[in-house]
Amino acid sequence: MSQPTPEPSISTRGAVDLSSLNRPQSPPPGEPGGAPTAGGFVVDLTEQNFQQVVQDSTQYPVVVLLWVPTDQANAELGTLLGRLAEEYAGRFLLGRVDAQAQPQIAAAFQAQGVPMVVAVIQGQPLPLFQGAAEEEQVRGVLDQVLAAAEQNGITGRAPAQGGDGAGEEAAEPEPVEEPLPPLHQEAYDAIERDDLDAAEAAYAKAIKQDPKDALAVAGIAQVRLLQRTRGADLQAVRAAAADAPADVDAQLAVADTDMLGGKVDDAFARLLELLPGADAEAKEKLRVRLLDYFEVVGPSDPRVGKARRRLAISLY
Percentage of residues in the chain having pLDDT higher than 90: 51
| pLDDT tens figures, 166-179 | 334 444 455 555 78
96 pLDDT higher than 60? yes
| pLDDT tens figures, 130-146 | 888 899 999 999 999 99
Tell me the average pLDDT of the chain. 84
- Mean pLDDT computed over 75-88: 93
21 pLDDT higher than 70? no
- Listed by start position, the domains of the chain span 1-174, 182-315
CA distances (Å), origin 104, targets 92, 118, 219, 253? 23, 16, 24, 22
Cα separation, 255 vs 264, in Å, equals 9
Q: What pLDDT was estimated at residue 166? A: 37
| pLDDT tens figures, 269-280 | 999 999 998 899
Q: What pLDDT was estimated at residue 176? A: 57
163 pLDDT higher than 70? no
More confident of the two residues 202 and 109: 202
Q: What pLDDT was estimated at residue 164? A: 39
190 pLDDT higher than 80? yes
74 pLDDT higher than 60? yes
| CATH class assigned to 1-174 | alpha beta
**What is the length of the chain?**
316
Cα separation, 18 vs 21, in Å, equals 6
Q: In what order do the strands lie in the sheet with 93-98?
A: 42-44, 93-98, 62-67, 116-121, 124-130
- Mean pLDDT computed over 8-14: 30
Q: Report the range of poorest mean pLDDT among 37-46, 179-188, 195-204.
A: 179-188
Q: 41, 88 in Cβ contact below 8 A?
A: yes
Please state the φ and ψ torsions of residue 153, each to the nearest 5 degrees: 80, 15
| pLDDT tens figures, 224-282 | 999 999 888 888 999 999 999 999 999 999 999 888 877 889 999 999 999 998 899 99
More confident of the two residues 271 and 161: 271
Q: Report the range of poorest mean pLDDT among 2-6, 77-81, 193-197.
A: 2-6
